[in-house]
C-alpha cells in the first residue's frame, strides 16, 4: 500500500481533535434543554451523522453516473467507499435517534416519514453491498452497482414524499401524544453553534474515512487484478 | 430420381427485407414470450399457484373478520401481487439467460431498449393475467366485491411501475451468482412508493372515497411509472452489454 500522504496524516489528527472538541462543546458549551435535559445532547451527533450519511449517498450516486459515462474504474472505488461509509454513519444516526426517541416519544421506533425513509435507505445500501458480493467480474460489478445506485438514489426522495403523503392524509398515532411528541424544541444560539460544529466535525471525519476507504479500495483492486492474472 | 415436391419452394431469406424496426422488435419479443408461455404454461401456473397460496397464508396470518377484511384487503392484494410478481420476473429473465436467448437478442440489429420494452410488456402481461385470476378468487373466498373500475386502474398503474423497475433489476440480478434471491432484495426497497400509493388508492376506491382524496396517490403512481420507465430505458444498455 502506498504510504499515507502528509495531508492524510494531518487529516487523521485533525479529525480526532475536532471530534474531541465537538464532544466537549456538546457537554460543556451547549446548555441543557428545558424538558429533555441530557437526553437531548445525543441530538447533535444524531443530526450530524444523518446529514453526512445522506451526503455520502448523493456522492455515491454521482460517482455511479460518472462511472457509467467515463468507464474509469476509480469512480467505482469512490462509489463503493461512499456507500460503505455512509451505511455506517447512517446506522449510527438511526441508533442514536432510537436512543433519543425512547425517553422522548416513548418508543424506540415509529413509522413516521423520516424514520421509515431512513430504514429504506439503509436497506438500499445493504442491497447494494449484496449485489456487489454476487458478481465476480470487476467491470460488470462496477456497471451494475452504478445502475443500482442511480435507481436507489432516484427512488429514495420519491419514497420520502410518498410516505409523507401516506402519513399526512391518514395520521398515525405515535406513542405519546403530548405537545412535545414531535420532540421539537427551540434552539438557542449556543445550541445552533454546537450543532453546526458537530456537522462540520462529522463532515471532516467522513472525508477522512472516505480517503482511507478509497486507498483500501485501490489496494483491493490491485489484489483482485493479481488474482485474475493468476487464474489466467 | 426426382424427389416429389412435398413443400412449396420458399423464397431465399436474403431476398426478404429484415424487419428491424423498433416496434417490430418489441412486438417480436412480446410474441415470443407469450407464445412460449402458451405452450409450456410453466411461468403462469407457478405464479398463480403461488399467489393463491399467499392468500391462503394470509387467511391464517391475519384474523380476517369482516371489519379487518375491509381494511386489510388492499394490503393483502398488493403483498400477493408483489411476491408473485417477483417470481414471474425471476423466471422470465432466468429462462432468457439460460437458453441463450438473451445473447441472441443482443446480436439482433435493434436498439437494446427494444429488448427492455419487449420484456417489460411480456412481464406486465403475465402479472396482469395473475391479477385477473386473483381478483375473482379473492372476491369469492372473502366475500368482498372487488369489481371496481377504480381498483382496476390502480392495479394497472401499479403493475406497470412494478414491472418497469422489476425488469431492469431482474436483468441485473440474473447475471449475478445469487440470482433469484437477489431480486427481491434489490426490488422491494425501490418499489415501496408503488406499494404505498397502490394500497392507499385501492383502499380509497374500495371504501368509496371521493376521487379528490384518491387522486394524489394516482398521481404518485403515474409519476413513478414515468420516471422509472425513463430511467430504466436510459440505463438498460449498461446492464446487458458484454
Instruction: Please write the tens of the pLDDT for every residue from B61-118.
Output: 887 777 888 888 999 999 999 999 999 999 888 888 888 888 888 887 888 888 999 9
- Cβ atoms of residues A224 and A138 within 8 Å: yes
Check: CB of residue A86 under 8 Å from CB of residue A57. Answer: yes
A1 lies in some domain: no
Q: What is the pLDDT of residues A145-190, one digit of tens each?
A: 999 999 998 988 888 888 877 776 544 433 333 333 445 566 778 8
Q: Which domain holds residue A50?
A: 6-30+37-170+188-231
Mean pLDDT of chain A: 85
Q: At B65, is the secondary structure helix, strand, or coil?
A: coil
Chain B contact present for A165, CB below 8 A:
yes
Domain-embedded: residue B134? yes
Identify whether A178 is part of a domain.
Answer: no
What is the tally of structural domains in chain B?
1
Is A180 part of a structural domain of the chain? Answer: no
Chain-centroid distance of CA B30 in Å reads 12
Residue A95 domain-assigned (yes or no): yes
**% of chain A exceeding 90 in pLDDT:** 46
Residues spanned by the domain of B57:
23-240
> How large is the greatest C-alpha to C-alpha distance in chain B, in angstroms?
82
The residues with which A37 forms a beta bridge, in sequence order, are A33
Min distance A159 CA to chain B CA atoms (Å): 5
Does some domain include residue A182?
Answer: no
Q: Which three cell numbers stand for residue A158?
A: 420519491
**Total-model pTM:** 0.85
Min Cα separation A215/chain B (Å): 26
| Any domain includes A14 | yes
Report yes or no: A184 at the B interface, CB cutoff 8 Å. no
How many domains does chain A fold into? 1
Q: Residue B17 falls within a domain, yes or no?
A: no
- Residue B65 domain-assigned? yes
pLDDT on residue B25:
86
Whether residue A124 lies within 8 A of chain B, CB to CB, comes out as yes
CA distances to A215, A216, A219 from A3, rounded to whole Å, are 10, 12, 12
Mind listing the pLDDT tens digit of every residue in chain B (242 residues)? 566 656 666 655 554 445 568 888 889 889 988 998 888 888 888 889 999 899 888 888 887 777 888 888 999 999 999 999 999 999 888 888 888 888 888 887 888 888 999 999 999 999 999 999 999 988 888 888 888 899 999 999 999 999 999 999 999 999 898 888 999 999 999 999 999 999 999 999 988 888 888 898 999 999 999 999 999 999 998 888 86
Report residue A37: phi and psi, to 5°: 50, -125
Of A131, A135, A165, the CB nearest to B220: A165
- Alpha helices (H) in chain A, listed in sequence order: 6-24, 42-70, 73-105, 113-133, 138-169, 189-231
Contact A151 B189 (CB under 8 A): no
CA A42 to CA A100: how far, in whole Å? 7
Q: Model ipTM?
A: 0.82
Phi, psi for residue B3 in degrees, rounded to 5: -75, 140
Residue B51 belongs to a domain: yes
Residue B152 lies inside a defined structural domain of this protein: yes
B196 → closest Cβ in A130, A147, A166: A166
Q: What is the H or E stretch that residue A108 is in?
A: none
Amino acid at each position: 500500500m502506498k504510504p499515507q500522504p502528509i495531508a492524510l496524516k494531518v487529516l487523521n489528527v485533525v479529525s480526532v481533535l475536532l471530534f474531541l472538541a465537538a464532544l466537549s462543546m456538546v457537554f460543556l458549551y451547549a446548555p441543557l434543554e428545558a424538558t429533555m435535559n441530557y437526553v437531548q445532547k445525543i441530538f447533535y451527533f444524531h443530526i450530524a451523522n444523518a446529514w453526512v450519511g445522506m451526503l455520502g449517498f448523493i456522492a455515491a450516486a454521482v460517482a455511479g453516473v460518472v462511472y457509467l459515462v467515463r468507464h474509469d474504474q476509480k469512480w467505482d472505488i469512490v462509489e463503493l467507499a461512499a456507500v460503505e461509509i455512509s451505511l455506517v454513519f447512517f446506522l449510527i444516526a438511526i441508533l442514536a435517534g432510537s436512543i433519543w426517541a425512547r425517553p422522548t416519544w416513548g418508543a424506540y421506533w415509529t413509522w413516521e416519514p423520516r424514520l421509515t425513509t431512513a430504514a429504506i435507505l439503509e436497506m438500499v445500501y445493504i442491497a447494494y453491498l449484496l449485489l456487489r458480493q454476487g458478481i465476480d467480474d470487476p467491470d460488470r460489478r462496477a456497471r451494475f452497482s452504478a445502475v443500482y445506485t442511480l435507481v436507489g438514489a432516484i427512488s429514495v426522495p420519491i419514497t420520502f414524499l410518498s410516505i409523507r403523503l401516506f402519513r399526512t392524509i391518514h395520521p398515525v398515532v405515535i406513542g405519546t401524544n403530548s405537545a412535545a411528541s414531535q420532540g421539537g424544541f427551540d434552539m438557542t444560539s449556543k445550541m445552533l453553534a454546537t450543532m453546526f460544529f458537530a456537522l462540520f466535525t462529522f463532515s471532516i471525519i467522513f472525508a477522512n474515512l472516505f480517503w482511507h476507504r478509497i486507498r483500501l479500495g485501490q489496494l483491493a483492486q490491485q489484489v483482485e487484478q493479481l488474482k485474475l492474472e493468476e487464474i489466467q | 430420381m426426382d424427389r416429389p415436391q412435398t413443400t412449396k419452394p420458399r423464397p431465399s431469406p436474403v431476398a426478404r427485407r429484415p424487419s428491424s424496426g423498433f416496434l417490430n422488435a418489441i412486438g417480436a419479443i412480446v410474441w415470443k414470450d407469450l407464445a412460449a408461455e402458451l405452450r409450456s404454461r410453466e411461468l403462469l401456473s407457478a405464479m398463480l399457484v403461488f399467489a393463491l397460496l399467499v392468500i391462503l397464508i394470509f387467511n391464517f396470518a391475519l384474523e380476517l373478520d369482516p371489519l379487518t377484511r375491509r381494511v386489510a384487503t388492499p394490503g393483502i392484494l398488493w403483498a400477493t401481487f408483489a411476491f408473485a410478481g417477483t417470481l414471474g420476473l425471476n423466471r422470465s429473465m432466468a429462462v432468457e439467460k439460460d437458453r441463450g436467448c438473451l445473447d441472441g437478442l443482443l446480436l439482433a440489429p435493434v436498439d437494446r431498449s427494444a429488448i427492455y420494452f419487449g420484456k417489460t410488456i411480456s412481464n406486465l402481461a403475465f402479472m396482469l393475467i395473475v391479477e385477473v385470476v386473483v381478483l375473482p378468487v379473492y372476491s369469492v373466498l372473502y366475500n368482498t366485491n372487488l369489481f371496481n373500475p377504480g381498483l382496476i386502474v390502480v392495479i394497472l398503474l401499479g403493475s406497470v411501475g412494478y414491472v418497469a423497475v422489476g425488469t431492469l433489476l431482474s436483468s441485473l440480478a440474473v447475471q449475478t451468482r445469487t440470482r433469484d434471491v437477489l431480486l427481491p432484495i434489490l426490488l422491494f426497497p425501490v418499489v415501496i412508493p408503488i406499494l404505498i400509493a397502490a394500497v392507499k388508492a385501492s383502499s380509497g376506491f374500495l371504501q368509496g372515497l371521493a376521487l379528490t382524496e384518491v387522486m394524489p396517490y394516482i398521481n404518485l403512481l403515474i409519476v413513478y411509472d414515468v420516471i422509472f420507465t425513463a430511467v430504466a430505458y436510459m440505463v438498460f444498455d449498461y446492464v446487458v452489454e458484454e
